[in-house]
Amino acid sequence: DVKVTQSSRYLVKRTGEKVFLECVQDMDHENMFWYRQDPGLGLRLIYFSYDVKMKEKGDIPEGYSVSREKKERFSLILESASTNQTSMYLCASSYRTSGTDEQYFGPGTRLTVT
Amino acid sequence: AQKVTQAQTEISVVEKEDVTLDCVYETRDTTYYLFWYKQPPSGELVFLIRRNSFDEQNEISGRYSWNFQKSTSSFNFTITASQVVDSAVYFCALSEANSGAGSYQLTFGKGTKLSVIP
């Protein structure tokens, strides 16, 4: 079974803090994704990566950056957390270098910025 | 630009009733993929099905069935004899299989929350 894990289920940070969200997948997938999920807005793509050290902006990259130094690990970074970044963050991975394969999701990190 | 619409925000049914979740999509590509995901209260999205645009055959998996109709740009999901464990948020998603980097992107609908009442 594909396993996608995220470093924390719940996280509380203060405004202005630098926040790291970590995601690890164990199936040698090329693609990895970060989404945020908000009530009434569904899932929105923040960034994705199709290879080590490669990244592409999604629909809402502002205020975020990412890092992929190893194939299995994809980090989302909030350089200076703000209250409007309070959300559920979901990491996903998929196998092939195309849009055809299903994405496998981690359990999510619920981030609260106070 | 691609778009997925799930017009039903919330649905409540009594256990053992059948329920259909609607999904309408928009895309300019002739080659695309459609997906359904389930998100139970635990929060983790679970993949249910993938369909490509050239395969309009309906699919049945146990109590689940999917009706893909290109003529109406719809990919509806029916649960037969619903059970309490079916209570979840269900998402429909679309991916365009073009050659650009954007082809990796899934566009999700806003989800339909299904509550199955015992």
Whole-number pLDDT of residue A11:
96
Whole-number pLDDT of residue A98:
60
- Nearest beta carbon to residue A105 from set B44, B97, B102: B44
Contact in structure between B23 and B77 (CB atoms under 8 Å): yes
Whole-number pLDDT of residue B106:
85
Q: Which contiguous run of DSSP H or E holds residue A56?
A: strand A56-57
Contacts with A114 (C-beta within 8 Å, 6 or more apart), sequence order: A12, A13, A14, A15, A83
Residue B118 has pLDDT above 70, yes or no: yes
Contact B108 A98 (CB under 8 A): no
Contact B52 A100 (CB under 8 A): yes
Q: Which contiguous run of DSSP H or E holds residue B33?
A: strand B32-39
CA–CA separation, B72 and B107 (whole Å): 19
Per DSSP, the three-state class of A85 is helix
Q: How many residues does chain B have?
A: 118
Strand partners, A47: A34, A57
**Could you tell me if B96 lies within 8 Å of chain A, comparing CB atoms?**
yes
Q: Which two tokens stand for residue A47?
A: 């960034």
Q: What is the pLDDT of residues B54-84, one digit of tens each?
A: 888 888 889 999 999 999 999 999 999 999 9
Whole-number pLDDT of residue A40:
84
CA–CA separation, A22 and A91 (whole Å): 9
Residue B40 has pLDDT above 70, yes or no: yes
CA–CA separation, B111 and A64 (whole Å): 25
Whole-number pLDDT of residue A51:
87
Whole-number pLDDT of residue B11:
97
Contact A98 B104 (CB under 8 A): yes
Residue B43 has pLDDT above 70, yes or no: yes
Whole-number pLDDT of residue B6:
96
Q: Which residue of B has its CA nearest to A47?
A: B105
Whole-number pLDDT of residue B7:
95
CA–CA separation, B27 and B95 (whole Å): 9
The dihedral over CA atoms of A69, A3, B37, B108, expressed in degrees to the nearest 10, equals -10
Ranges under pLDDT 70 in chain A: 1-2, 97-100
Q: What is the pLDDT of residues B82-114, one digit of tens each?
A: 999 999 999 999 988 764 555 567 889 999 999
Per the rule left: phi > 0, alpha: psi between -120 and 50, beta: everything else, B31 is: beta
Distances (CA, A) of B113 to B19, B52, B71, B83, B87: 12, 25, 26, 14, 8
Whole-number pLDDT of residue A12:
97
Query: How many Å lie between the alpha carbon of A15 and the closest alpha carbon of chain B?
Result: 25
Whole-number pLDDT of residue B80:
96
Whole-number pLDDT of residue A90:
96
